[in-house]
Amino acid sequence: MSVLEAPGDLARTPLAAILLEALNVRATGLLEVSHDGGTSRLWLRDGRPVGAQVVTGFRPLGLLLLQAGLIDIDALSRSLGLMASTRRPQGELLVEMGAVSRADVDRMLAEQQAGYFAVIAALDAGAFRFDAAAPVPEWTRGSRLSPLRTIVDALERPQAGALVVSALQPLAHQAVRLASGYAEVAGAFRWTAAEQALLRRLSPSATLEAFFGGTEVEPERARAVLAALLLLGLAVPATGRQPSGETAAGLVLELESEPEATAPPPPEAPARAAPAAPPPPAAPARRSDPAEARERRQRLLQQAMRNMGIGPFAGRPPAAAPRP
């Protein structure tokens, strides 16, 4: 059963597992989490987190713009009055008023939404339920949340530790590399310079010890980075030819192309020599099947969740974390 199909608790099912499952099934709807006497909300569209509201730590967009010196108190007051009478988003109204640029509104909205997501990701407990019938507000189209970075951020939280361990454990004694299609979605992770330097260690491959050793990235973050890539199928064991696959709606990765079978140029044929045999046909390059890719990621997630004791394997203690 999908973690989205029945109510649960973040103390039992970490947010990272919910986000991975939502991405796999391209879920659209509303995730509600009860905590601190209220309900925080995370909207999803095609498996991507697109907007959040929180019980605690509320930071109105207008106040953020005022604190950043981008609007004055008069513009804030007028926009609040227009919001009450028109029911339109405050950012749109401020742009129409000429009080602030669209770029500044988008930047502040991205900061606001990232902060709200961080509040939800930091919860170590809270009853949750997913409503696939709930409409997704139009304002969420400008939230600028990254569907891939939010997974990494959620995996970094302590409550996702067992999920990270279960993803890394199978590679404790072998090397890992980036999958062939990683480059196509690398920008969606919004890596920092230090994280980019860390990931270069996977070219061509690295053991876990080599990957984690002597990096500027904090250990918890480094583990979350690699666990996310593994669970998304964007990092694979260095041995074998495991393909990568689709990662998110609208982002389809290619399988590794099979090497083309070509014959070397024939030598000059002497007189009366038999004609050279034609080269064998080139093996066609395969492309990823979105359904296959989603099923592959689903298997990775289900195995990791079994390892951490969710579902029929509840009660089994997780294996010890691989040590860098």
Are the C-beta atoms of residues 222 and 212 closer than 8 Å to each other?
yes
Listed range (16-20, 21-25, 119-123, 319-323) with the worst mean pLDDT: 319-323
**Which residue carries 């199928």 as its tokens?**
233
**Cα–Cα distance measured from residue 208 to residue 324, given in angstroms and rounded to the nearest whole number:** 6
**Cα–Cα distance measured from residue 2 to residue 38, given in angstroms and rounded to the nearest whole number:** 25
**194 SS3 class:** helix
- Tally: H helices and E strands in the chain: 11, 7
Per the prediction, the chain carries an average pLDDT of 81
Are the C-beta atoms of residues 215 and 222 closer than 8 Å to each other?
yes
pLDDT in tens, 94-106: 999 999 999 999 8
Pull the structure tokens for residue 62: 């207008």
Are the C-beta atoms of residues 143 and 113 closer than 8 Å to each other?
yes
Rg (CA), the chain: 24
What is the DSSP code (8-state) at residue 34? E
**Cα–Cα distance measured from residue 162 to residue 132, given in angstroms and rounded to the nearest whole number:** 27
**Residue 23: what are its φ and ψ, rounded to 5°?**
-65, -40
pTM, two decimals, is 0.76
Pull the structure tokens for residue 143: 């939230």
Q: Which residues have C-beta within 8 Å of that of residue 69, sequence separation ≥ 6? A: none
Percent of the chain with pLDDT over 90: 60
Pull the structure tokens for residue 102: 């669209």
Q: What is the DSSP string of 35-48?
A: ETTEEEEEEEETTE
Listed range (88-97, 200-209, 275-284) with the worst mean pLDDT: 275-284
Nearest partner of 153 among 316, 16, 324, judged by Cα:
16
Please give the pLDDT value at position 298: 67
Listed range (9-18, 37-46, 203-212, 270-279) with the worst mean pLDDT: 270-279
Are the C-beta atoms of residues 33 and 147 closer than 8 Å to each other?
no
